[in-house]
Amino acid sequence: MKWRDSWRFSAQVLLRHKTRTALLSFAVAIGVCSVLLLTSVGEGARHYVSKEFASLGSDILIILPGKKETSGGSIPFYSTTPRDLTIEDAQAVKHLSSVKSVAPVIAGTALVSHKNKSREVIAIGSTQDFLKVRNLTLSHGRGFSQKSADLAESICIIGAQLKDDLFGQQKAMGQWLKIAERRYRVVGILEQRGESLGLDMRDMVIIPIRSAESLFNSPALFRILIALKPRQDESLTEQRILSLIKKRHDNEEDITIVSQNAMMSSFDRISNFLTVAIGVIASISLVVAGFLIMNVSYISVSKRQQEIGLLKAIGATATEVRVIFLTESALLIGLGVCLGLAAGYTIAALFNQFIASFVLIIPWWAALASGLMSFVIGLLFTWLPAAKAASQDPVSAMRGN
């Protein structure tokens, strides 16, 4: 029997049993679609975090108060050290040759109001460099002047959403608003952007660092953001910063420096592992589909004994009979894989069409691996029923024994 005859014969069998063909193909399709969608969630999460880090710009270092020990423990985002980071520490770091911009940050929540409207939002105290380091742009107005780094000026920059909530369609530029009972004049409005690393840029207010120091009655910095000059040695700059702050803090190393690139590398390793692990878990559905194909194949062999006996009686060898059943399985799996790929990519495209905040990205290897696994599992689980059919005695099979 030629291979074309085998394929034609198997296709005719599948067409005669439309319900069985549809159910088995649907089972394979569900398995393939599950692998695609679950891995796309992991890949989408990696893409989302990469985009969030990219919004910070490139070559960013973050100085946090408190020392993270090698014995364990989380990064001290909230200081437990007896010595605080100060604005003077940030000014000293700015003089390093490899440093491009330095943005000291004081953060807190405050009630912001204008006339009879008020909102409690995050208030950020920083300098003009904060806009540069965080890659922020203004839709209206200007940023802070150089003297605002040393003077507690009563000016502020507000987010687009905060502007709409407090001023509506009215002009906000040059208007006065209250932040915790202190009056600030609006000199700039941030361009519509959205969240970045959990901080909603649309719903925040930025004031000069000295004004925040007075507003929150604290000289302690929440953190210091640093942008490096192009093509600088990141690790060398970290060592210089550690040495500089150590000298300023009575020879005690009491800060933690977090590198944007190091965080991205760590997250990539974790997300890649999780994506693969999710894909492996999702592939269990393919194994279930394989068991279903094997059981149905056994039933098919028992119901087609006379057909098998007739094939062997007219000269079909055991190998050719085995090939017929494996070919049927391959056609079923191929149909299921095509349906699963189409369903997976369609669902991902529809999701991305209606939900813009998170993008499902199907990795190419997931589509390839799910297809290959489907064929391997399906053919392996069909081998035993096919072997049973091939070992049938022609006379006994034609009698239905």
pLDDT digits (tens, 9 = 90+) for 80-116: 455 788 889 999 999 898 899 899 999 989 999 988 8
> 137: pLDDT confidence band, cut at 50, 70 and 90?
confident
pLDDT score of 3 more than 60: no
Least confident of 64-78, 188-202, 321-335: 64-78
Residues 203 and 272 in one domain: no
In terms of domains, do 205 and 324 share one? no
pLDDT over 70 (residue 384)? yes
Q: What is the pLDDT of residue 194?
A: 55
**Residue 176, pLDDT score:** 92
The whole-number average pLDDT for the span 339-350 is 92
d(CA 19, CA 328): 15
Helix (H) or strand (E) holding 385: helix 364-390
What is the model's pLDDT at position 25? 82
Contact 166, 258 (CB under 8 A): no
**Alpha-carbon distances, residue 353 vs 320, 346, 347 (angstroms):** 49, 10, 10
Q: What is the mean pLDDT of residues 137-162?
A: 86
Q: Report yes or no on 95 lying in a domain.
A: no
Answer yes or no: pTM beyond 0.85.
no
Q: Is residue 322 part of a domain?
A: yes
Within this chain, do residues 223 and 131 fall inside the same structural domain, yes or no?
yes
Mean predicted confidence (pLDDT) in 139-152: 82
Element (H, E) at 101: strand 99-114
pLDDT band, residue 51 (cuts 50/70/90): confident
- Are residue 224 and residue 112 in the same domain, yes or no? yes
CB 60 within 8 A of CB 134: no
Query: β-strands 199-200, 195-196: how paired?
Result: antiparallel
Which of 231, 259, 293 delimits the end of a domain?
A: 231
CA angle 350, 351, 354 (to 5 degrees): 85
Task: Please state the φ and ψ torsions of residue 296, each to the nearest 5 degrees.
Answer: -65, -35
- Domain boundary at 211, 231, 251, which? 231
- Examine the pLDDT at 346 and tell me if it is beyond 90: yes
Residue 263 inside a domain? The answer is no
CA-CA distance, 121 to 243, in Å (whole number)?
A: 36
Please tell me the predicted confidence (pLDDT) of residue 156: 92
Does residue 315 fall inside a structural domain? yes
Per-residue pLDDT at 310 exceeds 70: no
- Token pair, residue 85, equals 């980071």
Query: Does any domain span residue 262?
Result: no
**Interval 205-234 mean pLDDT:** 88
pLDDT score, position 195:
58
Same-domain pairing of 123 and 184: yes
pLDDT at 158: 92
Question: Is residue 290 predicted with pLDDT exceeding 90?
Answer: no
Domain count for the chain, please give it: 2
Helix (H) or strand (E) holding 351: helix 318-354
Note the pLDDT of residue 56: 60
**Where is pLDDT greater, at 164 or 42?**
164
Query: Per-residue pLDDT for 70 more than 50?
Result: no
Q: Are residues 211 and 291 in the same domain?
A: no
d(C-alpha 374, C-alpha 277), whole Å? 17
- Check pLDDT > 60 for residue 398: no
Residue 288 and residue 169 share a domain: no
Q: Give the count of beta carbons closer than 10 Å to the beta carbon of residue 175.
A: 16
Q: What is the mean pLDDT of the chain?
A: 80
Mean pLDDT of the region 346-356: 88
Beta-carbon contacts of 306 under 8 Å, excluding residues fewer than 6 positions away, are 397, 398, 400
The answer to whether residues 357 and 299 belong to one domain is yes
Lowest-confidence region among 51-60, 126-135, 136-145: 51-60
pLDDT of 72: 44
Those residues with Cβ within 8 angstroms of residue 156's Cβ, 6 or more apart along the chain or in another chain: 177, 179, 184, 185, 186, 187, 205, 206, 207
Together in a domain, 152 and 214: yes
Angle separating helix axes 284-303 and 318-354, nearest 10 degrees: 140
Is the pLDDT at 389 greater than 80? The verdict is no
Task: Tell whether 120 and 41 lie within a shared domain.
Answer: no
What is the spatial distance between Cα 49 and Cα 62, in angstroms, rounded to a whole number? 17
Specify which of 51-55, 163-167, 315-319 reaches the highest per-range mean pLDDT: 163-167
- pLDDT mean over 253-272: 77
Question: Which residues are CB-contacts of 86 (< 8 A; sequence separation ≥ 6)?
Answer: 219, 220, 221
Same domain assignment for residues 321 and 395: yes
Q: Which of 89, 391, 42, 353 is nearest to 245 (CA)?
A: 89
204-208/117-126 β-pairing = parallel
| Same-domain pairing of 207 and 273 | no
Element housing 122 (H / E): strand 117-126
pLDDT of 184 reads 93
Identify whether 358 is part of a domain. yes
Q: Highest mean pLDDT range out of 229-233, 347-351, 393-397?
A: 347-351
pLDDT band at 151 (very low <50, low <70, confident <90, very high): confident
**166 in any annotated domain:** yes
- The answer as to whether 69 is a domain residue is no
- 195-220 mean pLDDT: 82
- What is the gyration radius of the CA atoms in the chain, in angstroms? 33
pLDDT for the residue numbered 183: 93
Range of the domain at 203: 100-231
Split at pLDDT 50, 70, 90, the class of 350 is very high
The set of residues, in sequence order, having a beta carbon less than 8 Å from that of 12 and lying 6+ positions away, is none
The H or E element containing residue 282 is helix 260-282
pLDDT band at 238 (very low <50, low <70, confident <90, very high): confident
Band of pLDDT at residue 73, cut at 50, 70 and 90: very low
- For the segment 23-50, the average pLDDT, to the nearest whole number, is 83
Q: In percent, how much of the chain has pLDDT > 90?
A: 15
